[in-house]
Structure 1
Amino acid sequence: MEVLTLMIRRKVENDEDFEYHWRCEEVGMTHLCFADNLLLFCHGDEYSVSVLNDALFEFGIVFGLIPNMSKGTIYFSNVKKSTNDAISDVIPFQVGVLLVRYLGAPLISSYLLRKDCLVLIDKVKNRLMRNFLWCQEEFKRGKAKVNWGDVWKPKSKGGQGIKSLRTWNKALMAKHIWNIVNDKDFICVRWIKAVKLRSGE
């Protein structure tokens, strides 16, 4: 992925006609990688998409890895139908419909609210917490349950020693704020400073 990142960066920086997505230009963000997933961003025009597509195929030629277009999905926002069709001819991904979820969380431009994550929260509680704690491998209802307050307690105090998700979330948010205040060189910090804080949102 580091090599792919370099290839994409080279293609974009050497092409004056490439246009970034309107909220990605200041930080120069064209893509994000996570595990075996790749998200590409650009302005909704045929040429900019072709630049990213060329980088993908160059990567494929060098490493013998041909992108599987049938597994890709493209999402359009405020793009004319004629432009959509032209882009689909360049990169034949299936066209997806917003709102889309990634790893259970919705990909939206506004702030995530608790209601936006309820589906993910319920899955974690039901599959990874309650069933794991009280049903072992057999996910059946009717098993005896322990008060959640006791589950979070240390084992020395009769609990299960499992960390509270609420507490962990607050700790992670505090760390994120710390990174912003200390101007850490992370893409998320640069994006928040460039788009959210500078614009006064």
Structure 2
Amino acid sequence: MNTNFNFHAKCAGEKITHLAIADDLMLFGRGDYMSMEILADAMEEFSDCSGLEINKDKSNFFFRWQAANTGLGGDQEHFWLPVGFLAGKYLGVPLASSKLNIMHYTPLIDKIASLTKKWTGKNLSYAGKTKLVRSVLQGVECYWLQVFPLPANVRGWVIYICREFLWGTKYPPVSWNDLCLPKDEGGLGFRDLGAWNKALLARNLWNIHVKKDSLWIKWIYSEFLKNRMLWEWTARSRDSPLFKRLLEIREELLTGRARREVEKLLGQWYGSKGAVEAYEWSRPKSERRL
């Protein structure tokens, strides 16, 4: 074995060397010449042993800007793969090594805006627009809400698009918060994005608690929890925005409740009905009943 091959500092505990997602394979290296040479040799050896050829038209080396500026980007001929630029998103969500800003959410906002433009020219009643907002617009962002804590300004943009499409004006006659209440409380049953985001993210707490055979959960216990229980986990400054948000949700759940009660609650939420009951717990309430 090549003595220059080592695990990434955060992957050594679980001995993670690569990620296979759908039909794609990602191999990671330090970004120096030696690491890139090891990866290139490994791929050539794989081809020799398996008889399978790597599709050069669909494969790339991706460098962080620091590595690209060191001149490694000019060695693509030696490594026989072209150097590409890391895609802005993968499997529908953005890739980034730091906290996401509003620019990373542009694809989500643009997708919702494009839908409203297609529908604006049609003769739709308020009932028809309401159904589209509820079933389509608020369904587009669900995958994002399961993965990221959506910033308030991004939620604001999505709400602005939905609201303007519904009323056809920038000056709505009814508060959006009121529209997000159930019909028996005087609303239209739209989902409150902040509460829906919280309900979908809370599923991760349940997964961390029970799915300890998952590679991602094993990695979390190894690198973040340090083999402690989820309930003993304290936030650190270097933790990701997602993990910090999960801890905030955990603290909300624990307020006025024993740990076993929270465990039971999470089990009920994500047993058979998904996040519907979790949303009902977290959504804004109104005393008005029709």
Flag whether TM exceeds 0.5 (same fold): yes
Count of aligned pairs between the two proteins: 169
Aligned residue number for residue 188 of structure 1: 216
Query: For each residue in 1:51-72, what CA deviation from the matched residue of structure 2 results, as whole angstroms up to 9, or x when unmatched?
Result: 3333333333344321122322
* Secondary structure of 1:146 counterpart: helix
Counterpart amino acid of residue 43 in structure 1: R
2:62 is the counterpart of 1:75: yes
TM-score of the superposed pair, with normalisation by structure 1: 0.61
Aligned residue number for residue 130 of structure 2: 147
Counterpart amino acid of residue 71 in structure 1: K
Q: Which runs of 5+ in 1 are unaligned?
A: 1-13, 132-138, 158-162
1:76 Cα deviation after fit = 1.7
2:62 and 2:85 in contact (8 A); partners too: yes
Q: Per residue, is there more helix in 1 or in 2?
A: 2
RMSD of aligned alpha carbons = 3.7
Counterpart amino acid of residue 220 in structure 2: I
TM-score of the superposed pair, with normalisation by structure 2: 0.45
Q: Distance in 2 between matches of 1:65 and 1:189?
A: 32
Which structure's CA Rg is the greater one?
2
2:166 is the counterpart of 1:177: no
Correspondent of 1:54 among 41, 44, 48: 41
1:150/1:73 Cα in 2 relative to 1: closer, same or farther (>3 Å)? closer
2:28 is the counterpart of 1:41: yes
1:164 Cα deviation after fit = 6.3
Q: Distance in 1 between matches of 2:196 and 2:49?
A: 42
2:73 and 2:83 in contact (8 A); partners too: no
Aligned residue number for residue 96 of structure 1: 84
The within-5 A match list for 1:97-116 is 97=85, 100-112=88-100, 116=104
1:45 and 1:83 in contact (8 A); partners too: yes
Q: Distance in 2 between matches of 1:108 and 1:29?
A: 19
Q: Distance in 2 between matches of 1:164 and 1:55?
A: 49
Query: For each residue in 1:145-200, what CA deviation from the matched residue of structure 2 results, as whole angstroms up to 9, or x when unmatched?
Result: 42158735xxxx9xxxxx96957754542222222234613232233344455693
